[in-house]
Every structure is written in C-alpha cells, then in structure tokens.
Amino acid sequence: MSSPSLHKAFFYKWIPFILPIIFFLVAIWARQMHGPYWLNTNLDPTYGYLLSSLNILNNISPTHIDHPGTTVQFLGALIFRFMHLGSQVEEIIENVLRDPEYYLRVVNSVIILIHALLILMIGLFARSIFKNSITPTILQLSPFFSHLIIRHGSHFKPEALLITASLLTILLTLYVLKSGKVSKNSNKIIFCYGAIGSFGVATKVTFLPLLVLPIFLFTRKIDFFFYGLVIFLSFLFFTMPIFDVYDRFFEYMKILFWGSDYYGSGFKTVINLSTYSGNIYELLSRPMLIIPITLSLFTLYKFNFLFSTLKRNLSSQNKDIYLRVLKGVVLGQLLSILLIAKHPSSLYLIPVLMLSSIVIVINFQLWFQFGDNFLRERIIKTTVGLICFGIMLQVASIYQNVRDYYSYHQETTKISESEFNQCARIYFPWASSQSFALYWGNNLAGQTFNKELKEIIPKNDFWFSVHEVRKDEVRDFLLRLAKPGLRNMGGPIDDMSILKSYPCLYFRGTDKRQFYKFLPQLLVDKNMNSTCSRLQEHILTDLKTCKE
C-alpha cells in the first residue's frame, strides 16, 4: 500500500476520535479563560440554576421557571447526589454553598464529557452509514459552528443542555437517514423525536419550533397523534419538579407571548412590526444559516423536478427520506428564526446553528450521489475547501471571543475584594462577587437558603436591590424585590445602621442607571470616588483612590 493510501486509511480510521477530544479540550480551556462563574458576565443564570438544583435535591419545587430549565436543575441535583452517595441532603447543600465554584465546574465537566461522547458517536455512526470522512467531519464540527456554542456550553444553564438536545437530534436523524430504518421502526423514531424535542422544550421554550423536524416523515394520521401524545407526556415527565408552579410558568409564557418587547414588556401586540423584519434579516444573515438554508431551498426545488433522473442513482425510498428530513430541518430553522426575531438574542440560535450540519450533509449526499464523476470530484473539492475555510474562520472567532473574555476576566479581578474587608461591601446588579452571585442565585431559588448563607456570606457583604417591577409581574424572584433598598440574608437593612457600623463603603455593580435612580441616602454626604471602576463595572468607595 502506498504512503498516501496509508495516510488516507489512518485519517479515515481516527478522524471520528480526534474532533471529540479537540472539543473537550477547547471547552475546558474556554471555561478556564472565561474566569470564575461569579464574574458579572457569568453569574446569571448559572448561580440561579445551581441553587435551584439544591431545591430539587431538597424536594422543593423550583421557583426559577422562566425557561423553564427544569432539565438543567434536575441534572444538577442528580450529579450532587451521586457525588455524595450516603450523605444527608443538608450536608450536600452545605458543601455546595461553601464551594459553589467547584461544584459548578464538576457539573459543567460532566456536560462537556457527555457532549464529547455524543460527538464521537455521531462520527462513528456517520462513517458507518456514508463510508466517507467528509460527512462525519461536517457533523462533528457542529459544536464549532459558532463561538456562542463554546461560550455558553461552558456554563450551567439551559444553552448547555440545548447543545445536548441538538446532538441527540443529529444522532437520531442519522439513524433515520440509514436506508430502510424508517418503515421498520416508525413508532420508535416518532417516540425518540418526541422525547428529545420535549427535552429541548423543557430546557428552553425556544426549542419549540424544532418540533416540526420529523413531521414530513409521517405517513399516517395516527403518526401525528402519537407524536403529539409523546411530546405531551414527555414534557410532563421532564417538568415534573415544577408541577406545583405550572400556573406561574404558563402565566409567564402568556406575558411573553403578548408582549412585543423583551420579557413581555412593550405593547401587547405580540410582535413589534417596526423592528420585526429587521430582526429576521439580522438573524438570517449569519453565513451558517443563510447559505445552508438557501442551498436547501434550491435543492428541494431542483430534486423534485429531477426525480426520474435521480431514480437511476438513488433508491426512490432513500432519496425520499433525505428530502423529507431536509424539509423538516429547514422548516424548523425558519420557524425558529421567526420566533426568535420577536425577542432577538444570538444565543437562542444555538440549536438552529448546530442543525445546519444536518442540512449541509443532506445537500452534500444528494448532490454527490446525483452527479457524474466530474461533478462528484468538484463537489468533494469544493466541500473540503469550504470546510477548511470555515474551520479557519471559526477557530479565529472562537479564539478572539475567548481572549476577549479572558482580558475582561483579568481586568475585572484586578481589584481585590480583600482590600475592602473593613468596609461595608454593597453589591448591586451585576457585581463580580461570589457573595452577590450567591445572593442572586438564592433569590432565584426562592430565598430557600437564607439560613445557610447567613453563616457563609461575610457579615460586611450586602446587596442593594435596584429592580423595578411591573404591575403584571408573576416571577417570584422579582416580586420579592419590588421595593429597592439595602438587604442582607436577614432581610432589609437600614442605611444609617451600615454607616454607623463600618468606617468605609464599597459599592460595586454594572446597572448604574437603576443604581443612581435609587441612590441610597447614606451616599449623599459621603466623599465617594469611582477611580477603582473596571470596564463595565462601576465601583464607588471612600476608602482609597485607585491609580490609573
């Protein structure tokens, strides 16, 4: 065997193992560079999910049900229980609250490991189906399609498990694309799509439009009924911990639906027509969306006209399955964009971006098997070239994004909290402080752990609440803060008592507009300076003047 053939065989054999290892290492590296979870750029909603997991462990219904995110909370509780088999719940809670960063890293490491294993399974399965290296590589690269995936996958939040749901969807879709599997296992396939889809929706409702993915595979009316039933029952299963607060969850969903702005605010017109089309354009203009979707629309149009020609190259059943899956994925992506454009945020696109890998693969397989040898050679060269170009772009994007966060992390932590141990340290949203992160997480968790945190958080650490709460608010964690003011784990604190008890003051946070709107009276006569402020964070103190 020639040397090039040996290299080709080696690449074919080991490429499915290489990318999962790279993903694992990159994800761990990115997490380290992003800094501790208590940084203001990291703490929300990570600490909320951490303490909500402790609620589930303690058989208390979560109060943080915005997403609803129940799967994330349950996973945390499960991991904490396995880490302390035989221990009392109170002991586990004490351990987690005393060293939250360690437990967050453990949970995230488990999630990253699960993702790496799923990427490996996708690569091996795709290779066994398509007998080439290009298709598995495209699918395994899906977590690298955006720096957003690496960024948010290194946290303990819904986006991390949306990556899980996306990888499971890709794996199941590969099974569907395997010749002859749909007709023989239609009920199993419907059940799996319904279960994975419900897992995604229970993690974050923005996954909802992707439930349409398998509908073009259904050939009987009973299939639609069965799929709907599986979705309904699976959703109930995945959200069991929030049964007691279903009314609040659905009330909040109703507010989100009618509100034309973020978090249900704005006019009650569902969407803001003046910005909606622009939002769609901005979301759809991403290369990893617009190119695969446009190519797919062309493919669906063209291949439906060339059925007789295709029949000589592909089995009719195989070609039909490919096109049905392609229709479903593209429809799901387009519906997702329409939903996300209501309240646009790039992180909502994570599952949509990852599923572009399936879209690219189906287009590649259809055109490759349809064409003659000349066209096949051109397709291979073009695809390999685009993969290499895309990898270079994404490596640069991921690296730059991680470096930016690292620079922010380094700059933010230059001011040591220990310098102000003698002061009353008063944090307002969003302060880079573990005390504030625990304050905020505990509030999201229903203030369940006031007693424990009162013994853990330093006595000179306080929280200045600056949230304004609208009249139709239903979320408990904001209703508890309806009145701005100073608090500790025991409740509201009188401003003057702090002034009398401490020789200096130290304020830290990012929400300057709200902070100055509700400026504490004790600041009026104090000689405060902001020379210690770092980048996004506003720091006021009367203890010292920081050097530039």
| Ranges of residues in the chain whose predicted pLDDT is under 50 | 1-2, 305-315
Q: What is the 3-state secondary structure (H, E, C) of 376-435?
A: HHHHHHHHHHHHHHHHHHHHHHHHHHHHHHHHHHHHHCCCCHHHHCCCEEEECCCCCCHH
The C-alpha atoms of residue 324 and residue 484 are separated, in whole angstroms, by 54
- Which residues face 121 on adjacent strands? none
The pair phi, psi for residue 386, each rounded to 5°, is: -65, -40
Q: Are residues 113 and 105 in contact, defined by beta-carbon separation less than 8 angstroms?
A: no
CB atoms within 10 A of CB 88: 9
Q: Are strands 485-488 and 424-427 parallel, antiparallel or unpaired?
A: unpaired
CA separation, residue 212 to residues 191, 208, 292, 329 (Å): 14, 8, 18, 8
Under DSSP, is residue 345 helix (H, G, I), strand (E, B) or coil?
Answer: coil
Long-range contacts (CB closer than 8 Å, 24 or more residues apart) made by 226-230: 226/187, 226/190, 226/191, 227/190, 227/193, 227/194, 229/194, 230/190, 230/191, 230/194, 230/195, 230/198
Residue whose token pair is 């909040």: 252
The per-residue pLDDT for 283 is: 93
The per-residue pLDDT for 311 is: 44
Q: Are residues 341 and 283 in contact, defined by beta-carbon separation less than 8 angstroms?
A: yes
Structure tokens at 285: 């203009």
- Which residues face 506 on adjacent strands? 425, 541
The pair phi, psi for residue 261, each rounded to 5°, is: -125, -175
pLDDT in tens, 497-523: 888 899 999 999 988 887 887 877 677
Residue whose token pair is 């309904």: 232
Beta-carbon-side half-sphere exposure of residue 522 (alpha carbons within 13 Å) = 23
Under DSSP, is residue 491 helix (H, G, I), strand (E, B) or coil?
Answer: strand
Vertex 206: Cα angle to 513 and 204 (nearest 5): 85
The per-residue pLDDT for 312 is: 44
The per-residue pLDDT for 413 is: 85
Under DSSP, is residue 505 helix (H, G, I), strand (E, B) or coil?
Answer: strand
Contacts with 231 (C-beta within 8 Å, 6 or more apart), sequence order: 194, 197, 198, 201, 211
Contacts with 391 (C-beta within 8 Å, 6 or more apart), sequence order: 141, 144
pLDDT in tens, 257-284: 888 888 777 788 889 888 999 999 999 9
| DSSP string across 190-231 | HHHHHHHHHHHHHH-GGGGGGGGTTGGG--SHHHHHHHHHHH
The per-residue pLDDT for 3 is: 54
Query: Dihedral angle at the C-alpha atoms of 331, 334, 340, 342, nearest 10 degrees?
Result: -110
Q: Where are the domains of the chain?
A: 21-407, 417-541
Beta-carbon-side half-sphere exposure of residue 324 (alpha carbons within 13 Å) = 16
Residue whose token pair is 């069991």: 240
Beta-carbon-side half-sphere exposure of residue 250 (alpha carbons within 13 Å) = 6
CA distance from start to end of the chain: 66
pLDDT in tens, 172-230: 999 999 866 677 788 999 999 999 999 999 999 999 999 999 999 998 899 999 999 99
